[in-house]
Amino acid sequence: MLTPVLPMAALTEGDKTLVRVGTSQGAIDILVGLADGRYFAVQAHCSHAGQSLAKGRLRGEEITCPRHGARFNVHTGASMGEPATQPIACFPVLLEAGKVCLYIES
């Protein structure tokens, strides 16, 4: 399911924002942003203990969890630093008609 979530102009380099997307299995929170010139969309909660990443610091392609400091690559979801050992989910982003659209499997 391709879901438009934001106008492209709503984000500038280094910005991120939380969006809620409805699926057949309920709503999910996704962090959408622009890092190193590319839009990204990742699960909004840390894989370590579930802290929201919405207030995490985004530096380049890495976001730091505000609770215990785990770092993740926002383009791949890979864990880049402990205590998280598992990645976070990434969602494909498509840009269409000036909008940031996410592909979410329903």
| Residue closer to ligand FES (CB basis): 43 or 51 | 51
Residues 6 or more apart in contact with residue 26 via CB below 8 angstroms: none
Residues 6 or more apart in contact with residue 12 via CB below 8 angstroms: 34
Q: Which DSSP letter does residue 47 get?
A: T
| Residue closer to ligand FES (CB basis): 11 or 46 | 46
Which of 83, 87, 89, 99 touches ligand FES (CB under 6 A)?
A: 83
Give the separation between CA 30 and CA 48, rounded to whole angstroms. Answer: 17
| Residue closer to ligand FES (CB basis): 33 or 101 | 33
Q: Which residues make up the interface to ligand FES (CB under 6 A)?
A: 46, 48-49, 51, 65, 67-70, 83-84
